[in-house]
Homo-oligomer: A and B are copies of this chain.
Amino acid sequence: MNITIKEIAELCGVSRGTVDRVLHNRGNVNKETEALIKDTIERLGYTPNITGKILAAKKKGLKIGVILISKGNPFFNDVLKGINRAKEEYRGYGVSVSIHQLEGYDVEKQVKKMEELRDKVDAIILNPINDILVVNKINELVKEGLIVINVNTDVEKSDRIYYIGSDYIKGGETACGILALLTGGSTKVAILTGSKKVLGHNQRIHGFKRIKEQRYPDIDIVAISETNDSDELAYIETKKILENHEIDSIVIVAAGVAGVCKAVQDMNMEDKITIVSFDAVPITRKMLEIGIIKATICQQPFTQGYKSIELAYNHFITGNKLKKDRYIVKNEIKILENL
């Protein structure tokens, strides 16, 4: 087995406490002693044992606050399942998790909630709004020593410790690829997006276009419309498109699935339009089951939730030692048979 602090102490003829001071740069150590200890650590390749860390960490306890913009958004149901599973599993490790669900893209509310948690938790798992105020607050909290992890969406130029979520560009590429396969590589497609202000939605469209340019010259993007993630608007926009354009496929890169599908059904075009969507909320599952939607691209929501807690814990245990600052989940193609 590996070398331990105790053994280092014995080898150097000092106490465990002194080795500990050197290891954690606490100062108050004689220069020569420190050099000797550092050398020994280096020479014998000391790495702290994980089980010891775990036990010691339990005593300290890790308080995690989760802030999600999840109210009324069924996508987050599985994310929350993952979080709650991890919450149970990590209870015995001294981890406690409080979950705070917000509604709508309200920057002030989000920042206020972060501020509120500041002194109550050691880590914040955040589904961040892409706004300078949020970024600033993230950076402020990280500077104070909090572990801030962005989940599902990342924001630029923030000092967050990790991002866990999907690669939206690759998601769009995958949508393009599967649409090409479903249509023989030739189709007139309408894209329904949530908002042109939302980075993830744009990235999916960007990825779609990129692959289209690269590989599928006969895919023709006829229209791109915003739904505001609202089924009502999605219905209206879809109907408008179907009335004004000759399309044979639709890609839905955000919410609004129910609205889009209803419009297609109301115009009796289920058999003429190939629909590809993202995620697998209940309405999407239903549409897959009745064959309106042919394929949907999922981003492992359960894993996003579960791993966000796991990452926070691992960072708590090991300090800043993890090299990767992003955990990218897969874009999974789901059809009726492997849903």
Residues on A facing B (Cβ under 8 Å): 1-2, 47, 49-52, 54-55, 58, 91-94, 170, 173-174, 176-178, 181-182, 211, 294-295, 330-338
Contacts and interface: CB of A to CB of B under 8 A. Distances in A.
Contact of A338 (B177, B335, B336): B177
A332 B52 CA distance: 38
A294 B2 contact: no
Scoring A47, A330, A331 by chain B CB atoms within 10 A of each residue's CB, the highest score goes to: A330
A178 B337 contact: yes
B335 A174 contact: yes
Contacts of A177: 335-338
Given A333-B333, A337-B176, A294 B181 contact: yes
Contacts of A58: 49, 51
B94 A1 contact: yes
A93 B335 contact: no
Contacts of A92: 2, 47, 49-51
Contact of A337 (B174, B334, B337): B174
A2 to B, nearest CB: 7
Given A92-B49, A92-B50, A294-B181, A337 B55 contact: no
Contacts of A178: 335, 337
A333 B335 contact: yes
Nearest to A96: B1
